[in-house]
Amino acid sequence: MPSEFTSGDRGIAVDLDGAAALFGVVDGLGHGPDAATAALRAVDAVKRASSERLEVLIQLCHRVLTGSRGVAMTLARIDFATNTLAWTGVGNVTADLVAKAPTGVEVRSSARLSAGIVGYRIPEIRPAQTLSIRPGDLLVISTDGIGEDYLEHIDFAAHSVTIAEDLLSKHAKETDDAMVLAARHRGVST
């Protein structure tokens, strides 16, 4: 957020021995140092237990963050052998699977998120939703610091880091921290 020195929004990207990858975005409630502390605690917990099921990771974060400001978070795991994406989230960190289409950008699927605050009150976490993905598909996860309709003009020729930076620079709100994570599925990992 403008005038702040630390962000409460954090990204996660973990290689799981070349067989899979874990991605996520965590939004510490509010902004500033307390939000950043909560987000960093969640990121650390996820990275330490990254091989666990996504639902277990969120429950672990809930326990670790009890008494903190809390976070909204969405996690996604891509399995390269089966070309599948599993995702789940609590709060308002959106996740979309997008593809290039003749008419522009096609949103192939969006994560179903549960209401709640990790660290304060979460619902029973449903098993992660799983769907098939294709090489070239782009996973985009963003916090509520990004304005709506931000997916309409993605340059699919750009590197995923450039796509995330472009979305952030063009669509970040000045009233909140903002984070965009973009990861392109390139097929079987080598």
Q: Pick from 158, 179, 142, 129: which is nearest to 1 by CA?
A: 179
Domain boundaries, the chain: 9-184
Q: State the architecture of 9-184 in CATH terms.
A: 4-Layer Sandwich (3.60)
pLDDT tens digit sequence for 35-47: 999 999 999 999 9
Measured between alpha carbons, how far is 117 from 95 in angstroms, rounded to an integer? Answer: 17
pLDDT tens digit sequence for 84-117: 999 999 999 999 999 998 888 999 999 999 999 9
Predicted local confidence at residue 190, as pLDDT: 47
Contacts of 17 (CB under 8 A, 6+ apart): none
Q: Is the pLDDT of residue 3 over 80?
A: no
Q: Encoding tokens for residue 43? A: 């990121």
